[in-house]
Amino acid sequence: MAELTILRGGERFVHPFNPPRPLSDVLAESGFAIPRPCGGRGRCGKCAVLLEGAVSPPTPAEEKAGRRLACQAALLGDASVVLPEARAMEQIEIAGAGEVRPVRPMPGAFGAAVDIGTTTVALKLYDMKSGACLSEAGMLNPQTAVAADVMGRIGAALEGGLGRMQAEITGAIESLLKDACGGAGLDPARVESLVVTGNTTMLYLLTGRNPEALSHAPFEADCLFDETVPLLGRAAYLPRCMHAFVGADITCAALAAGQCERDEVSLLCDVGTNGEIALWKDGLLRVSSTAAGPAFEGAGISCGCGSVRGAIDRAWAEDGKIGAHTIGDAPAVGVCGSGLIDAVAAALKLGLVDETGAMDEDELPLSGGVSLLPRDIRAVQLAKAAIAAGIETLLEEAGVGEEDVSTLYIAGGFGSHLDVNSAAAIGLFPEALASRVKVLGNAALAGAAQLLLDTEKQENTRAIASLARHVNLGGNKKFNEHYMDQMFFPEE
């Protein structure tokens, strides 16, 4: 038996293990899992650590990074590792429109609505009699330590990590419930009912269901939920998903927006690691998903980070250069998604980046030591092209133009902090729709709250799902053509 000494923020911990073991695995089982946005492939460098002792020689990926990486290094015996200090997420979107007074609530005096996002998890605690929101809580999804995106987590689950990820997300919900109850002065045992929404993969991992069907073509889920399951000793309703990659979070968002109740053409977009789009026209909800990647969540960007203290969350063109604001007005430590979009929009306005994404300089300074590199601009191009091409393809499938769209609903945490004009400036969505945007906040959580407080709305979500028709973008000729066109930024 060997020992790993873990040093973080002036504290020291010792964890025994049987060598040889991957460092990332030992850290995870000791409770010190650190993010691996690239899924452990050694590409992002986000799991860099200081490592000494009986360890494996550096891998080619580590030699390229010039640092030891937790996802690459193996422990061969006694060793010590210094971890970067953990930063708390400052801006987890919990607020959302569309909540209702209790009509036919789920059982119990108190209940909670939960949204399991790919990046964050949010919970709201309710008095089931009055409908009052008593407290709320949010945190980083612990599964981000496994991979930033759903495909990385599906792969990890198929390689034996399903039980671990199920335990992680269950533990996260339990922790949030305790935090929310503590804030409300309530014994958690009095919370009897839950509604838990999320994308299809998140619900598979929550319930410990083998996601093999989600891992390969034709990508047809063998379970779309709409069921009540036991969770943490409580009854938890999991809403209906629409497709393998259009989950219950979009069903709940459409419910909260009332999208299918209006006689208009409307778009709903949840812009994040998984870009999900729903187009409502003439009684049909065309839905699709596109792999935008984790750039909008700050992952995969050289100086990218979540919405932590010191993250650049806003940027603008000022006196020929880029000005920036950080969360908490703290010294800049990185750039989160909203700041990234602003910074690229400002760079385009100033001519520091052209429509092809080319930069004159090797880096684009933002604030302090935080800069964007050419590969960061490329990541934004790839991500925005996926969303924009998805929108364009759905509009074309429905036979409508952007001028026919009455409302563009933006849902999700990233969208809540997005500057609409910056998003249009980089071509994330058509500029003509900027004046028709309605920001919903965490619409998935708001929809889950409606289901908690009125069980008959379960039928509404079933109706929404029944009106949905999935438009597959994989191998779609129209989408591929639009994607190539959308790789360019709009010209000023």
Sequence ranges of the domains in the chain: 2-82, 110-249
With DSSP H G I counted as helix, E B as strand and the rest as coil, what are the percentages for the chain, rounded to 5? 35, 30, 35
CA distance 215 to 222: 12
Q: Could you tell me which residues come within 8 angstroms of residue 374 by beta carbon, excluding any fewer than 6 positions away?
A: 357, 358, 359, 362
Rg value, the chain, Cα:
22
pLDDT digits (tens, 9 = 90+) for 347-362: 999 999 999 999 988 9
Q: Could you tell me which residues come within 8 angstroms of residue 105 by beta carbon, excluding any fewer than 6 positions away?
A: 111, 128, 129, 193, 452, 453, 454, 455
pLDDT at 373: 93
pLDDT at 351: 94
Tokens of 206: 């929550």
Domain range 2-82, its CATH number among 3.10.20.30, 3.30.200.20, 3.40.50.2300, 3.40.50.620: 3.10.20.30
pLDDT at 93: 47
* SS3 label, residue 333: coil
* SS3 label, residue 367: strand
Contact (CB, 8 A) for 450 and 99: yes
The closest alpha carbon to 326, from 338, 312, 339, 315, belongs to 312
b/e 319-335 (16+ beta carbons within 10 angstroms → b): eeebebebbeeeebbbb
Cα 187 vs. chain centroid, distance in angstroms?
30
Contact (CB, 8 A) for 39 and 155: yes
Tokens of 468: 């949905």
Q: Is the pTM of this model over 0.85?
A: no
The closest alpha carbon to 249, from 208, 195, 209, belongs to 195
Contact (CB, 8 A) for 451 and 195: yes
pLDDT beneath 70, residues of the chain: 9-10, 36-39, 85-100, 293, 298-299, 413, 492
CA distance 219 to 204: 14
* Class of 110-249 in CATH: alpha beta
Place of tokens 């908490």: 328
pLDDT digits (tens, 9 = 90+) for 425-437: 999 999 899 999 9
CA distance 342 to 350: 12
Strand 234-240 vs strand 191-198: parallel, antiparallel, or unpaired? Answer: parallel
